[in-house]
Amino acid sequence: MWYNCLLSELGGPPGVCILVSTEKITNLAPNDQLTSVHQVADRMFPAYTIDEGHAYMAGCTLDNRLFMRVAVNLADGTKYFFLDSSARRLDNAVVTKLGLENNFKLERSPERAETDIARLAEIAQRMVKDEFGDLAGSGAKPQVELAAMWCKYAQGKLRFSIGERSVDLPFADWAATLVPPPFICPYTGAKTFHLSATSDGRIVAAEQIATCDQSGLRLLREDLVICTVSGKLVSRDLTEVCPVTDEYVLSEEMVECESCRQRVSPKSVESNRCSACRQPQRAAKDDPRLTRLLDAHPQARNWRKWTVAETANVLIFNGSGLLKRIRLVLDKDTLKPKHLAVGSRFSPAWTAIESERLDEVL
């Protein structure tokens, strides 16, 4: 089919006609674009470092996408513009980005696209008429030249394997502008070109890995904390949060306060007692903590005086009578006893009492 026949019916200005057919239309491609999967692999793989693993292409296609170059020969030179396959006119930035002006001639069309080319040719003709109609109306020579411009579009995915596991990284871009995309760590959201595995086999951003000083395991930094006693960077799982200092401490470094019998950081302990136990406050009658105790255990009123201290987890009540004293270490949320002891006001010794006997000894 000859488009000049088709287009002449559109009522274009005289002298503007298309002298191309689907068989004879020029086919162009940008000089500077990747044209094979091998080239895509060469562009991609050097960007990534895989610790003790490897990368390979897990699928890649290079499609030919049609553009149309419209050349309008005017008295003062040739003007070019480009249409994409939807007949949208490309702005100059896209033309430059895709390298459309730096092209070479293909021997034949890489795809069968007669219908699309006919459609674009028709629209191009209208555009020329709208923009250059007055100027184009004078000459007898052909003044518009159309060419099919074929750009390759690459899409696929890279696969990175370390040990038993692998992760995929999809990519999709013009072959002219394709660059290796960063891998987005699924655990931390960090972007990286360096992948590594944690000790439990997760493939993550290498920059997000650190070694637990205690276990030697390679873990995510976000799963590690500083033990404030040893100064080691350790897995959070190996630590406890001291209820007094609110700091991470290796479980094996935690000690028991001799007074409240709670596990605490040694940093909080002096003379075998945690700082909560060392600083009890006289409980005023309207102290809500004392009110809770009295509501739950009315017999507590039998004791003349109460002091109260607290940690993140417990309330520590010390009651005193004429001769005796009592210590209640109660869960802060439930008031369930965690440690009970009784003693004499005239002796430093305490005797631990089973939790069930709370109401009995009060």
**Amino acid sitting at position 21:** S
Q: By the 8 A CB rule, do 56 and 170 touch?
A: no
Q: By the 8 A CB rule, do 75 and 165 touch?
A: no
Q: Are strands 49-50 and 194-197 parallel, antiparallel or unpaired?
A: parallel
Among residues 129 and 327, whose Cβ is nearest to Zn ion? 327
81 forms beta bridges with 70
Among residues 103 and 318, whose Cβ is nearest to Zn ion? 318
* b/e 345-361 (16+ beta carbons within 10 angstroms → b): eeeeebeebeeeebeee
Which residue from 151, 148, 90 is spatially nearest to 121, judged by alpha carbons? 148
CB of 194: closest distance to Zn ion in angstroms? 47
CB of 325: closest distance to Zn ion in angstroms? 16
User: What CA–CA distances, in Å, run from 355 to 261, 287, 325, 331?
Assistant: 13, 24, 16, 12
281-285: long-range contacts, CB 8 A cutoff, minimum separation 24 = 281/307, 281/308, 281/309, 282/306, 282/307, 283/307, 283/308, 283/317
Among residues 301 and 336, whose Cβ is nearest to Zn ion? 336
CB of 179: closest distance to Zn ion in angstroms? 60
How many Cβ atoms sit within 10 Å of the Cβ of residue 64? 17
Among residues 156 and 243, whose Cβ is nearest to Zn ion? 243
**Amino acid sitting at position 179:** V
Among residues 259 and 318, whose Cβ is nearest to Zn ion? 259
CB of 213: closest distance to Zn ion in angstroms? 28
CB of 295: closest distance to Zn ion in angstroms? 24
Interface with Zn ion (CB under 5 A): 257, 259-260, 274, 277
Among residues 208 and 262, whose Cβ is nearest to Zn ion? 262
CB of 338: closest distance to Zn ion in angstroms? 11
